[in-house]
């Protein structure tokens, strides 16, 4: 058994990138608001390491609002072709402005413009409004770099719990649970 769940995640993630027909980076992100009402959506993993798992979003989105009042999240990777899942839970903190700027600069120009044009998670009376705003942003930034909007950044989920689930015949699934208590400890769970 691996002593370090990050090393195990790296190995599983590398396999998923080779075999998963969809995006191996796709993960479900679960948050909860101040009243404890949960919400889940798919986002993309944009970095990971011993310090945690990073994703980016509009800070005024539903997930951004949830994390502002309840800075804890759960992530779930499901790699169907490998018959595996990885579940992660932990506190969430904003990434640095520098890290957000570097990642934002790596995005396609259209994605950068979309970040400016979108009031993510807010009601949109007509799709044409969003498309017009996108075109306005294209004109506004014509001939120059697109700066990161102040309401757009990233979050780092610092894992306190990582569970590796492997499908087995007859529902005899394998569940390995790693918990952080100053160091990683491992246990098994019944399926």
The residue behind tokens 């990434």 is: 95
Determine how β-strand 84-94 pairs with β-strand 174-180: unpaired
161 in Cβ contact with 9 (< 8 Å): no
In angstroms, the CA 114 to CA 123 distance is 16
Alpha helices in 29-178 (DSSP H): 62-69, 97-106, 109-117, 127-140
Task: Reply yes or no on whether 87 is catalytic.
Answer: no
**Exactly one of 37, 133, 171, 175 is catalytic; which is it?**
171
Task: Provide the strand spans (E) within 24-107.
Answer: 26-32, 38-44, 47-49, 52-58, 72-79, 84-94
Q: List active site positions.
A: 171
């Amino acid at each position: 058994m691996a002593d370090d769940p990050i090393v195990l995640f790296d190995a599983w993630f590398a396999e998923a990138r080779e075999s998963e027909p969809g995006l191996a980076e796709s993960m479900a992100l679960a948050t909860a608001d101040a009243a404890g009402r949960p919400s889940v959506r798919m986002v993309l993993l944009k970095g990971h390491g011993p310090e945690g798992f990073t994703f980016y979003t509009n800070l005024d989105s539903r997930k951004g609002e949830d994390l502002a009042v309840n800075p804890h999240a759960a992530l779930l990777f499901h790699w169907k072709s490998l018959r595996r899942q990885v579940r992660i839970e932990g506190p969430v903190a904003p990434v640095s402005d520098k890290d957000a700027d570097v990642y934002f600069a790596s995005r396609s120009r259209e994605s950068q413009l979309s970040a400016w044009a979108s009031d993510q998670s807010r009601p949109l009376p007509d799709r044409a409004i969003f498309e017009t705003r996108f075109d306005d942003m294209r004109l506004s930034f014509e001939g120059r770099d697109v700066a990161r909007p102040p309401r757009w950044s990233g979050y780092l989920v610092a894992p306190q719990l990582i569970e590796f689930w492997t499908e087995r015949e007859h529902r005899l699934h394998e569940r390995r649970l790693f918990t952080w208590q100053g160091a990683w400890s491992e246990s098994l769970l019944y399926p």
